[in-house]
Amino acid sequence: MRRILWGRDTSSNVMKVIWLLEELKLPYERMDVGGAFGKTDTPSYRAMNPTGLVPTLQEDEFSMWESNAIMRYICMSAAGDLPYYPDLMRQRGRIDQWLDCQQTQLNRPMGVVFWGMVRTKPADRDAAALAQGVADAGRIWGFLEEPLSRHNYIAGDQLSIADIAWGVHVHRWFTMEIDRPPAPQLRAWYDRLLKRPVYKAHIARPLV
C-alpha cells in the first residue's frame, strides 16, 4: 500500500499527521502542497479533498481529510492497541473531547495570534485583535492545567493523539513574543514534549 500525506510541513494540521506517523514509524511519502506550494485547487486534489485545505491522507484509492479524523483513522487502522487512541470507551471519549476542543476552541484564537505575530509584518498588525486573541487563547490553554496536574499527558500518563492536536500549537504559544498568563503545568508538559525526538525534529522548529 502506498501512503501519501499531502500538505506542506509548516501547517499545524499537517504536523499532527507527520508527528503521529513518525511516532508509529509507519512508512509514508509527503507531497508539498498548500500555502506557497499551491496545487490544492487542481481537480485531482479537490476530488480527494473538496475543502482545498491540507492535510489530505491518501492510501491507494482511499483518501480522507480533517487532521484529527485522519489521526483517529491511522490509530484505528494501523496502530493496534497503542496508547495513542486506546480501544477503551472512556479513554477514547476523553481523547475525543480534547480533539474537538482543539478544533472548536483553541484553533481560532491561536490562528489570530500566530498569523498576527508570525505571518504579518509588525507595522500591519492589529494590536487590539492580537491582544484579544492572546487573552482568548490563554484562557483556553488554562483548561489543561488541571488534567496536567494529575498526569504527564493530556488524557493520561502516555502520549495520545490529544497531545498531538494541542502539542503542535504549544510550541508556537511558547515561542511567540506575547504576554502569556502563567501556566506551570502547561510549561512542564511542553518541556516534556521537547524531550521527544520526533517532536524536536518535526514540530519544535522555527516559526514560519
Ligand X SMILES: N[C@@H](CCC(=O)N[C@@H](CS)C(=O)NCC(=O)O)C(=O)O
> Where along the sequence are the contacts to ligand X (CB under 6 A)?
11-13, 34-35, 40, 53-55, 66-67
Q: Cβ of residue 70: shortest distance to ligand X, in angstroms?
A: 7
Residue 84 or 102: the one with the smaller Cβ distance to ligand X is 102
- Cα 154 to Cα 65: distance, rounded to the nearest angstrom: 24
Residue nearest to ligand X (CB): 34
CB 86 within 8 A of CB 144: no
Q: Where do the H-state alpha helices sit in the chain? A: 12-24, 43-48, 67-74, 89-101, 107-118, 127-141, 145-150, 161-175, 184-194, 197-202
Nearer to ligand X, 5 or 79 (CB): 5
- Dihedral of CA atoms 190, 66, 57, 141 in degrees, nearest 10, equals 0
CA–CA gap between residue 32 and residue 148 (Å, rounded): 35
CB of 146 to ligand X, least distance (A): 25
Q: Provide, rounded to whole angstroms, the least separation between the CB of residue 16 and ligand X.
A: 8
Of the candidates 55, 67, 171, the one whose C-alpha atom is nearest the C-alpha of residue 113 is 171
Q: Name the residue nearer to ligand X (CB basis): 71 or 155.
A: 71
- Render 2-15 in DSSP notation, one character per residue: -EEEES-TTSHHHH
Instruction: Tell me the closest approach of the beta carbon of residue 41 to ligand X, in angstroms.
Output: 9
Q: Based on CB atoms, which residue is closest to ligand X, 114 or 141?
A: 114
- Which residue, 69 or 188, is less far from ligand X as judged by CB? 69
Q: Give the strand order in the sheet containing 29-31.
A: 29-31, 3-6, 56-59, 62-65
- Work out how close the CB of 40 gets to ligand X at its nearest, in angstroms, rounded to a whole number: 5
